[in-house]
Amino acid sequence: MVSTFLILASVVLCAYFGVLALYRLLFHPLRKYPGPVLAAVTGWYEAYYSIIKGGEFISEIQRLHALHGPVVRVGPNTLHFSYSQAYHDIYTHGTTLVKEPGFYHGVVAHCPQASFGFCDPVEARDRRSLLLPLFSRRAAIALEYTIQKKIDQFLDTLKERYNSPSSSVSMTVAFRALTIDIITSYCFAESANTLDDPELRHPLLLNIQESLKTILFQRHFPFLTSFANNAPPKLVLWCIPAFKVFVDMKIRYERQVDKLISDPDTLLAVEHETVYHHLLEPKDKQQRPSRTSLVHEAFTLIGAGSDTVGNACTIGTFYALKYPSIRRKIMDEICQVWPDAGRPISYVTLENLPYLTAFIKETLRFSLGVVHPLPRVVGSATPEIGGLKLPAGTIVEMSSLLLHMNPEAFPDPHTFNPDRWLGQGNSKMVLDFAPFSKGPRICLGMNLAWCELYLIFGNIFRKLDLSLLVTEDTIETFGEDHLDYFVPHWKKDYRVFVQKVHDS
């Protein structure tokens, strides 16, 4: 009896998937677009490259464009583009397109009810308007002392612990520690203090390192993270012990939020303005987020605001050390406006330096921010995308890698060359520079990110003489080979040590 049922169920399932596959190949509105048959039939094509091959989806996309041309069907209902007009139609002018819920609710399955995960444009706009005051340029300038304080601790750690070839440090890890401490201090006036462990082995640091690799796993299996989010902590840890740091973090932010909700006067005692001052006391009381949403927002801000900046710092520092002429130009320019390293310098002074600015732009072009294509759903009022009229419901996307490595906008794109940003440049280059994405869902934290990058690079190059530790590992290729873990993950790492300290 049971076996007959199983056979019947299998036949029905096979028939269903067979008919679905035939429909997608022969009758689907995207059937005329080129691409692999398997990608047209199933979304597991992407999952295979992201999970089984481990972060290879972006390489596969590049291969498919080389084979099939500028528009490729990379999923049953998804088109990926490779030309900038399409990028601007999707993101810059894309007010009629929305974030694709299937993708975003997976990627941020641990914190869907927050700024990054909101797919409804009205919800996203309302949350953005609450948070923007803390992420404006003016706010970043008012709070830059919190950033400088963490940079000072970072420099002290490097000077004291990592000052010889035998005691070198991985800059990926070091910058991640710095940027986690900055974002937690800036947003909550309560730093995670990962730099307090000079060995840079704070559990949060290690956890973020590991969890980055699972973002795309989460995208395809969101129910696992939802389980971790909603089940009692003890049960989660019993089933999946690896979720310990996640559970600890969740408990920590739930406690923080509960304390603020039960005793709003706590806000009066904190050292400076925080996200909670804006989230808990909105002008329109209707907009006050729920407890869950507040916890999700905390996760979002730490996730979005740490590794992105850390990654840019890792890339920029590597190229400045690899090419001594670049470091020399940065040093010469900074020393002009900052003759005494013992005195503080402001972000506003640093941002007026043309070479440092060019260097940071080239760093952002290379470090990419988010390398995975960011999917948007075409609406009924969406005009043409890259010259194509597409049916409502189609998912469209383009990775920033294809924009930033386009030789028409950036000649010799794989060469790290800050000079390209000096002088007139070409207008296409300026238009196609989009490390923070563009349009209505542009990065919320970009003013803060610029402020951090100027202060971090300014301080590092003015105060420390760092040396690359040449190992058997071919550091030469660092920065060229990366995997797509949503954010780029560089296949190689590099280590440095402090050769000399510039006290004056």
- Cα–Cα distances (Å) from 412 to 82, 293, 404, 415, in that order, read 17, 45, 11, 6
Strands 495-501 and 464-468: antiparallel
Q: Is residue 124 within the footprint of ligand HEM (CB under 6 A)? A: yes
3-state class (DSSP) for residue 323: coil
Cα–Cα distance for residue pair 406/402, rounded to 1 Å: 6
Strands 495-501 and 169-170: antiparallel
- The residue (of 345 and 444) whose beta carbon lies closer to ligand HEM is 444
Per CB under 6 A, the list member of 33, 116, 162, 410 interacting with ligand HEM is: 116
Q: Is residue 310 within the footprint of ligand HEM (CB under 6 A)? A: no
Q: Is residue 357 within the footprint of ligand HEM (CB under 6 A)? A: no
Q: Is residue 435 within the footprint of ligand HEM (CB under 6 A)? A: yes
Per-residue x/- marks for ligand HEM, 464-503, CB under 6 A? Answer: ----------------------------------------
Report the nearest approach of ligand HEM to the CB of residue 115 (Å). 4
Per CB under 6 A, the list member of 175, 188, 355, 436 interacting with ligand HEM is: 436
Q: To 10 degrees, the CA torsion angle through 403, 407, 413, 419? A: -100
Per CB under 6 A, the list member of 312, 429, 469, 496 interacting with ligand HEM is: 312
CB 123 within 8 A of CB 439: no
The total of other beta-carbon atoms located within 10 Å of residue 400's CB is 25
Q: Is residue 304 within the footprint of ligand HEM (CB under 6 A)? A: yes
Cα–Cα distance for residue pair 168/470, rounded to 1 Å: 11
Q: Is residue 137 within the footprint of ligand HEM (CB under 6 A)? A: no
- The residue (of 187 and 353) whose beta carbon lies closer to ligand HEM is 187
Q: Is residue 94 within the footprint of ligand HEM (CB under 6 A)? A: no
- The residue (of 33 and 436) whose beta carbon lies closer to ligand HEM is 436
- Cα–Cα distances (Å) from 457 to 354, 373, 488, in that order, read 14, 28, 20
Window 361-380: residues binding ligand HEM (CB under 6 A): 369-370, 374
Cα–Cα distance for residue pair 353/343, rounded to 1 Å: 18
Residue closest to ligand HEM when measured from CB atoms: 445
- The residue (of 307 and 333) whose beta carbon lies closer to ligand HEM is 307
HEC states along 429-460? HHHCCCCCCCHHHCCCCHHHHHHHHHHHHHHH
Q: Is residue 308 within the footprint of ligand HEM (CB under 6 A)? A: yes
- The residue (of 375 and 386) whose beta carbon lies closer to ligand HEM is 375
Q: Is residue 443 within the footprint of ligand HEM (CB under 6 A)? A: yes
Q: Is residue 441 within the footprint of ligand HEM (CB under 6 A)? A: yes
Report the nearest approach of ligand HEM to the CB of residue 357 (Å). 14
Looking at 121-202, list the stretches that DSSP marks H as alpha helix, in order from N- to C-terminal side. 121-135, 137-142, 144-161, 171-188
Per CB under 6 A, the list member of 55, 305, 386, 418 interacting with ligand HEM is: 305
Per CB under 6 A, the list member of 151, 169, 301, 469 interacting with ligand HEM is: 301
Question: Number of residues in contact with ligand HEM, rule: CB under 6 A?
Answer: 24
Per CB under 6 A, the list member of 77, 115, 157, 459 interacting with ligand HEM is: 115
Q: Is residue 293 within the footprint of ligand HEM (CB under 6 A)? A: no
Which residues, 6 or more positions from 193, have their beta carbon under 8 angstroms from its beta carbon? 181, 202
Strands 395-397 and 78-81: parallel
CA neighbours closer than 13 Å in the CB half-sphere of residue 266: 16
Q: To 10 degrees, the CA torsion angle through 18, 20, 25, 26? A: 100
Per CB under 6 A, the list member of 51, 71, 444, 455 interacting with ligand HEM is: 444
Per CB under 6 A, the list member of 128, 137, 213, 288 interacting with ligand HEM is: 128
Report the nearest approach of ligand HEM to the CB of residue 183 (Å). 6
Cα–Cα distance for residue pair 54/36, rounded to 1 Å: 19
Name the region of 443 (left: φ>0; alpha: ψ -120 to 50; beta: rest). beta
Cα–Cα distance for residue pair 463/465, rounded to 1 Å: 7
In this structure, what token pair is assigned to residue 289?
């987020």
Report the nearest approach of ligand HEM to the CB of residue 116 (Å). 4
Per CB under 6 A, the list member of 418, 445, 458, 479 interacting with ligand HEM is: 445
- Residue list, annotated binding site for heme: 443
Select from 27-35, 38-46, 432-440, 455-463 the region that touches ligand HEM (CB under 6 A).
432-440
Report the nearest approach of ligand HEM to the CB of residue 277 (Å). 15
Cα–Cα distance for residue pair 396/73, rounded to 1 Å: 9
Select from 29-37, 306-314, 323-331, 417-425 the region that touches ligand HEM (CB under 6 A).
306-314
- Residue list, annotated binding site: 443
- Helix H or strand E segment including 117: none
- Helix H or strand E segment including 360: helix 354-367
Best CA proximity match to 311, nearest among 180, 406, 431 = 180
Q: What is the contact surface with ligand HEM in residues (CB under 6 A)? A: 115-116, 124, 128, 183, 300-301, 304-305, 308-309, 312, 369-370, 374, 435-437, 441, 443-445, 448-449
